[in-house]
Structure 1
Amino acid sequence: MSDTATASTVGRAGAPISRRIPTRYLVLALIFIITALNYADRSSLSITGTSLQADLGFSSVQLGYIFSAFSWAYVLGQLPGGILLDRFGARRIYALSLALWTLVTAAISLVGLITTPVLVSVAIIFALRLLLGVFESPAFPANARVATAWFPTAERGRATAVFNSAQYFATALFAPLMGWITHQFGWRWVFVLLGVLGLVLAVVWLRWMDSPRQHPRVTPEELETISSGGGLVDLDAPTTGGQRARLDRRTIAKIFTTRPLWGVYLSQYAINALTYFFITWFPVYLLEGRGLSLLEVGFVAALPALCGFAGGLVGGFASDALLRRGHSLTFARKLPSVVGMVLATSIALCSITDSSALIVAIMTLAFFGKGIGSLGWAITTDLAPPQAASFVGSTMNAFGNVAGIVTPIVIGYTVQATGSFDVALWFVAAHGALALVGLAVMGTIKRIRFDD
């Protein structure tokens, strides 16, 4: 009997419980919502940045460094975050991470309430953004860990596409909202709202989430569907003392000498360069480079975001469909990735037109392609050895988010030196081609097992 067709079954305690929606889909919905808030938090300065800059007196270069601060700490926090996830599981570490990054986001609203020199305000926000990076570092590896445990291989492409597409949904939902709040009430209230939402989600996650085998809502049929399809249902199962085995040096050394993983690292870096342009300088480009108003920016920025969201779903669902039709895992993951990255390079065309409408159309196409090609997390869950699932995910995320350090700073200096965004757009577009190189380096996609 299919787990999706079961309208009523018997729960763990023997009581009849309605089962219309498989629990794994509710788990996916929850991590989608949390990830959308995650991206709203990290991209909040892209909407509020111009108002904050005017209020506190920051220069473009100072704003560029503030944009990059998140990624410095986010990158450094990846490996410790992955190790904590492998030892303690996603439930506790994700809840703690969510609560802490929410408090840091809310604290930004307090900067400048008391008159302070510009450099002091810069230093405080830079430090808060560093802490935000540290506390958010376990989030995406935790998402990948949850997908590995809760979804069979043939559904994992769409599962990772859904939570990865939350970044675009976050922009589509929160960019207009944050623009309106900034316009009506001031930039501080954006951070207050994000703080309240984050604390609510942290409580929901901690009270409801569990491993597939231990979750009271999971039926035997659904558990069998997940486990027989390649889901690692015991990945986060409770262990004595609440900890799991430590990673040994031999395993870590093998991870850093495995060619397919280096292909993932390179392609993820390239994809994230596109992401960080979008969540940092893109609204500023629309404001300063195209002359749009703040309210217009909030709504215009939502258009490419919506198409990026749609592209992410198309890429994930297409990949799983190819897999179900008998194509190899390598072909099913790489074909959408190649098509998407080719489309993403079209962002360079924005530098040769003065039409704002055409620029928005090109950006929309580029981010639709970027969404299609963003299968790095699916590929990581396909490759990672079970004993180091989160460590591999964190390593990939660390390399990928080096782009968050490089991209905002390079664009900041480029814009200040040239007075335009043309060179910056070519710089961003080149990363689409770099992602294709990473896919070539990757070779065959199959789960790496170091204990064979």
Structure 2
Amino acid sequence: MKFAEEQHLSTLDTTSCDSSARPSKVRYVVLSMLLVATILNYVDRSALGIVAPSLSKDLVLSKMQMGELFAAFGLAYSIALLPSGILTDVLGSRIAYALSLVGWSLATVTQGLANGYHMLLGSRLTMGALEAPAFPSNARAVTLWFPTQERGFATSVYVMGQYIGTPIFTGLLLWISAVAGWRSVFFVTGGFGILFSVIWFCAYRDPSRHRWVNKAELEYINEARSPSAQKSREKFNWRMALKLLGYRQILAICLGKFCNNTILVFFTTWFMTYLAEARHMSMIKVGIYQALPFLGATLGILVAGCLSDFFIRRGVSLSAARKAPLVIGTLLGSSIVLVNFVESNAWVIAILTIAFFAQGVGSMSWAAVSEIAPRQYVGLTSSITSLAANIAAVTTPLMIGYVIQHTGHFYWALNLMGAICLLGTFSYSVLLGKLSRIEL
């Protein structure tokens, strides 16, 4: 084994790894795979919402039960994030992501086999737990594959996957459901995930072990890193999770991500219900209009990532360049309350598109996590902050459902989401302070 590794490194040094050669672009192939995996992640978790009308009628499920199914995914996902971060740090992105992909895809398929509430609940809980390693694996891969000046763009590309899947595939999945039944939606989306897990396992390697990477690209990726930043992973210590929570930067990002993610969860759970019931739109209009806010969010994350990297290249401090999108995006997200004061559906969609665009801008917190996390605990740090963000996946559906049940409308639910965004703005602007790498 050792001889083969030395032979491989020797080949790298004497052939394609000439430092004078033009750097290879393998990191962008890796980024494309991260984008595809993230799209699959969100399409699979959103499939229930797409087929909810026909599924709930066929299985005789109440709205309360459907709300519990939405929240069940978020609960299992949140609980599994910390051990998933540990798994990512120990196994690396290649194995952790492959196991996660095939696991959640099989759980997606089992939803198509469900014959009632309890089987569906078990499938949702399982899928939530098995999707948890995805974003820690994304963060680890981007940290290893991209230099600081490109990391914001890389982060924005894979985060974009959580927004573009819905507008691209909702129409197709609705058509599949209409033609072949709601169960076929889970079979199709789960099947694609299983296929991609094989592709990921065969194609992904860390940069130092990837046969397609030349020496010039490796040097470019690592040129801004100190020798201490490139040390190998250390054995995990459970006390490290508590130690990381003692840093103000991590606590501030946790609170900010929770507040910002509240808007995202609204759009992935109750948004279509809001358009259909609160705004009395036909299903045709709902199918058309639902895409606009998601496209706005996609644009928001791309704009934030590109501008953040641009400011860094222009000499703006890393802290200011990474924090500005978080503060501006989360603050602008509070504009969602304005839909309570307009009657025109066109204005409603415009305001919701702006609010979701802002949430996309605020999602640049993943880049901030990559900048402050100890390099040997990128997966763990990502899991801690992601856990905080995904608590919103439990609280938001339940909160909105509770408010609607007791008031009969969305008014106070939207106002509460606006107030939560203001709290997130305070956390990012005041509590977070200056971004700097945590040294352990």
- TM-score, normalising length from structure 2? 0.92
What's the offset of the Cα at 1:126? Answer: 1.5
Q: Are 2:377 and 1:408 equivalent residues in the alignment?
A: no
What's the offset of the Cα at 1:216? Answer: 0.9
1:145 corresponds to: 140
Aligned ranges 1:80-119 → 2 under 5 Å: 80-112=83-115
Q: 1:275 aligns with which of 257, 264, 280?
A: 264
Q: Supply the distance in 1 between the matched residues of 2:276 and 2:130 (Cα, whole angstroms).
A: 30
Q: Supply the distance in 1 between the matched residues of 2:106 and 2:228 (Cα, whole angstroms).
A: 32
What's the offset of the Cα at 1:364? Answer: 0.7
Superimposed CA distance per residue, residues 344-388 of structure 1 (whole angstroms, 9 cap, x where no aligned partner)? 111111122232221111111111111112111101000100221
2:414 corresponds to: 425
Q: Supply the distance in 2 between the matched residues of 1:232 and 1:300 (Cα, whole angstroms).
A: 51
SS of aligned partner of 1:80: helix
Q: 1:329 aligns with which of 289, 293, 318?
A: 318
List gaps (5 residues or longer) in structure 1.
Answer: 1-9, 113-120, 238-243
Q: 1:365 aligns with which of 343, 350, 354?
A: 354
What's the offset of the Cα at 1:318? Answer: 0.7
Matching residue's letter, 1:353: V
CA contact under 8 A between 1:265 and 1:438: conserved in structure 2? no
Q: Supply the distance in 1 between the matched residues of 2:228 and 2:283 (Cα, whole angstroms).
A: 47
Q: Supply the distance in 2 between the matched residues of 1:147 and 1:231 (Cα, whole angstroms).
A: 17
Q: Supply the distance in 2 between the matched residues of 1:378 and 1:68 (Cα, whole angstroms).
A: 27
Structure with greater proportional helix content: 2
1:173 corresponds to: 168
What's the offset of the Cα at 1:149? Answer: 0.3
RMSD between superposed Cα atoms in Å: 2.3
- Identify which range, 48-57 or 18-27, moves more after superposition: 18-27
Q: 1:129 aligns with which of 124, 134, 137?
A: 124
2:32 corresponds to: 29
1:224 corresponds to: 219
CA contact under 8 A between 2:300 and 2:357: conserved in structure 1? yes
What's the offset of the Cα at 1:230? Answer: 3.4
Q: Supply the distance in 2 between the matched residues of 1:339 and 1:149 (Cα, whole angstroms).
A: 28
2:374 corresponds to: 385
1:116 corresponds to: none
Count residues with an aligned counterpart.
427
Q: 2:183 aligns with which of 174, 177, 188?
A: 188
SS of aligned partner of 1:431: helix
Inter-CA distance 157–435: structure 2 relative to 1 (3 Å threshold): same
What's the offset of the Cα at 1:252? Answer: 3.0
Matching residue's letter, 1:380: V
What's the offset of the Cα at 1:285? Answer: 1.4
Q: Are 2:265 and 1:262 equivalent residues in the alignment?
A: no
Q: Supply the distance in 2 between the matched residues of 1:231 and 1:279 (Cα, whole angstroms).
A: 41
Inter-CA distance 286–12: structure 2 relative to 1 (3 Å threshold): farther
Inter-CA distance 236–301: structure 2 relative to 1 (3 Å threshold): farther
Inter-CA distance 291–20: structure 2 relative to 1 (3 Å threshold): farther
What's the offset of the Cα at 1:70? Answer: 0.6
Inter-CA distance 15–252: structure 2 relative to 1 (3 Å threshold): closer
Q: Are 2:431 and 1:441 equivalent residues in the alignment?
A: yes
Matching residue's letter, 1:160: T
Aligned ranges 1:212-251 → 2 under 5 Å: 212-230=207-225, 245-251=234-240
SS of aligned partner of 2:107: helix
% same residue: 39
Matching residue's letter, 1:444: K
Q: Are 2:4 and 1:14 equivalent residues in the alignment?
A: no
SS of aligned partner of 1:89: helix
**Structure 1: which 4+ aligned runs deviate by more than 6 Å?**
10-13, 15-21, 231-237
List gaps (5 residues or longer) in structure 2.
Answer: 1-10
Inter-CA distance 285–327: structure 2 relative to 1 (3 Å threshold): same
CA contact under 8 A between 1:213 and 1:233: conserved in structure 2? no
2:304 corresponds to: 315
